[in-house]
Amino acid sequence: MGIPRLLFLKQLFTKPTNSHFNLTRTLCSFSPKSPSSLSPKFVKFVTDSPRSSVIPLLEQYFTKDKCLLESEVPMIIRALRKHKRFDRALEVLEWTNRKPVYHTISVDLPLRLDLVGKVRGVAAAEEFFKEANDHSEKMCSSLLDFYVQGKLVDKSLALFKKMKAIGIASSPHTFNKITSLCLKTRQVDQLLDLLSEMQDKVSYKLCLKACALSSDSDSMDKLVNSIKDQHHLFDWSTYTTVANYYLVKGHPEKAISCLERAEATVHDNSEGYKVLISLYAKLGDVTKVTELWQKHKNVCKSYSNNDYMVMLSSLMKLDLVEQAEGLLEEWKASGNEYNHLVLDAVLSGYAQKGLVEKAEKLLEDQISKNTTPVPISWGIISEGYVNCKNMQKAVQCMKKALQLGPQPNGWAPKRAVISKILTWLGDDGDSDQVYELLKLMSRVVPVNENSYLTLKASSKLGKFVPVILQRLKDDNIDVDKVMKVGK
């Protein structure tokens, strides 16, 4: 009889000795009895013990139970791959291939190809692909990954064209790989040739997005010029994507050109009007913002809460405070269901312009009408007071936000705002105020190392921080990690 299972497990996970042979003898000196799963612990053992081969353990444990082998090995291979132990995963896979009796083990070909390529390189992956004679989308995509990673442009394009020819290049992810490669290697002409063959909206949009992400202005210019006369391929969203890119890069004249094309294709699309209004507001064009708002109303007949929010934000951005206040009153009378995001657009505008008292009064007036506030509204006002250096009011408003407790949308105060408040409390407040704020904050976010370090650096309360943390711990608030930082 073999050694009992508990002893097997104990010896299996004992820290390896200095000798590879001693470890192998230990693993092979007994046989298993129970067929229950060993995958998680086995994978941990293999991952943490790089000095020894896994073959002796596989031979000893799995030879006795073919059913266990068939269920366990595929999971072990995938788990090792997840831990980035590709060499180990391939070793296990190839061991099963040398055992004819285990031919029923199911590990898909794309996974095998992936392991071969990661461990032995592109040439070995190509050879495996050829021998497998499987031209499925997953297999081709797996080989394409290695070509892209190796920046092999010609091979990547050739394979992509073959995939397109047999109808398996429809995935946006696949096209993104090719686009990214061409941009990284400055092969924009190759990409444009490919696009001219494809002639579809999705591919062009993906390419435009990739150009924007790569911050490649020359590529973007070439691509935009190539589509000027192909209006059937584009709509307002395509042109606004490019316009926003040009705005970010500081090319307003190019942005305006794209926005004009977008406006010509927006028709009766409400979302399109909102995007156009936002972008023209970024440009500071009051006339266009007002004109598009009226056109939107004429076409769509009414405004949603989201429409009001976008327009209010735009008016505030353009310093048109009175117009924004008038539109807010229109919204209140519109019959639309109350949505705090509309009000928050005005609160943010007030706070950014230093009109924090006005923002606070607006929110309090709304609350007086039996409206339940949300934390983010008080958070906006607290941040406004921080920026105006009125820290006493900032603390008061932050407490009001935190007292509302955790929210379904996962609101949390901005770290920069909390840091400034804690710094002020540490220098000008007292330990009770800090304790109360941290206790309230713990309902929404954990007390973290950043809070500890901010307080520790304060001129007045630094030495009292451990006492404050202990008080929180006594209230069953988890501060163990933070307390360890202080030791």
| Model confidence at 35: pLDDT above 50 | no
User: How confident is the prediction for the chain on average, in pLDDT?
Assistant: 81
The answer to whether the beta carbons of residues 426 and 458 sit under 8 Å apart is: yes
Separation CA 312–CA 327 (nearest Å): 7
The answer to whether the Cα torsion of 451, 457, 459, 462 is positive or negative is positive
The answer to whether the Cα torsion of 400, 404, 405, 408 is positive or negative is negative
The answer to whether the Cα torsion of 444, 450, 456, 457 is positive or negative is negative
The amino acid at residue 40 is: P
Alpha helical stretches, state H, 13-166: 20-27, 39-48, 55-62, 66-82, 86-97, 109-120, 122-132, 137-149, 153-165
| Model confidence at 48: pLDDT above 70 | no
What is the average per-residue pLDDT within 223-249? 80
Q: Which of the pair, 274 or 17, is modelled with greater confidence?
A: 274
What is the average per-residue pLDDT within 323-329? 97
Separation CA 140–CA 168 (nearest Å): 9
Q: Which of the pair, 32 or 245, is modelled with greater confidence?
A: 245
The answer to whether the beta carbons of residues 62 and 102 sit under 8 Å apart is: no
Separation CA 99–CA 459 (nearest Å): 71
Separation CA 177–CA 354 (nearest Å): 47
Residue 249 is predicted with a pLDDT of 87
Residue 123 is predicted with a pLDDT of 94
Element (H, E) at 297: helix 286-300
| pTM for this predicted structure | 0.66
Which range has highest mean pLDDT (59-73, 186-200, 202-216, 361-375)? Answer: 361-375
User: Token pair for residue 349?
Assistant: 């505008």
Per-residue pLDDT reduced to its tens digit, 58-93: 776 666 555 555 667 777 777 788 888 888 888 888
Least confident of 99-103, 308-312, 345-349, 381-385: 99-103
Residue 253 is predicted with a pLDDT of 94
Separation CA 306–CA 323 (nearest Å): 17
The answer to whether the beta carbons of residues 74 and 105 sit under 8 Å apart is: yes
R_g over Cα of the chain: 32
Q: Which of the pair, 119 or 20, is modelled with greater confidence?
A: 119
